Amino acid sequence: YDALKSAWYWKFQYNRLSPARNDNTVSALMPVTDLPSYPSEEAVISGVTVEMLKSLFPAAVEEVTVKAAEQRNAALWSGKATASDLAAGLALGKSVAAVFLARAGADGMRTAGGSAVLWKALADSATARGEIAWISQDIPARP
């Protein structure tokens, strides 16, 4: 939400017309509107989302990065945005993500899921009470 809010603030500050409005030889595959195109909201969402997903799913960084690039390319190839619209949007999205990741790194939430020692203590406690401890079926196993 904050990334889009920032994008739309800057869109109306710069008020750059879409490629098809600036150059009538551009054939847009998307509906042409009078809304500003700079920075690209698609790229803003791409930038913030890819950074957040990379931190949440470090094993999927390559896949997330490729999919985000495809999404940005769709806006470029459809004539909805220029390369500079996308570059500015991507930078803005990444900067918004950096704020949230910094906040997340300092809010103590990393320890909310416990630790290996705590998970073992919970399993041992269940076993001591004659109960069956929960075992993750996920691969890799979750706590």
Do 81 and 141 share a domain, yes or no?
A: no
- Kindly state the average pLDDT of the residues 76-96: 89
Domains identified in the chain, total number: 2
Q: How many CA atoms lie within 13 A of 16 on its CB side?
A: 19
What is the DSSP code string of 16-35?
A: PPPHHHH-TT---SS---SS
Q: What is the pLDDT of residues 8-52, one digit of tens each?
A: 898 888 888 787 777 777 777 777 777 777 888 888 999 999 999
Do 119 and 88 share a domain, yes or no?
A: no
Do 63 and 10 share a domain, yes or no?
A: yes
**What average pLDDT does the chain have?**
85
Do 16 and 74 share a domain, yes or no?
A: yes
Is the pLDDT assigned to residue 128 strictly greater than 80? yes
Neighbour-count burial for 110-137, b at 16+ CB within 10 Å, e otherwise:
eeeeeeeeebeeebeeeeeeeeeeeeee
Note down the domain range covering 81: 2-112
Do 67 and 11 share a domain, yes or no?
A: yes
Do 65 and 122 share a domain, yes or no?
A: no
**Tokens (6 digits) for 86:** 């996308």
Q: What is the CATH number of the domain that holds 65?
A: 1.20.144.10
Give the pLDDT band of residue 57 (cuts 50, 70, 90). Answer: confident
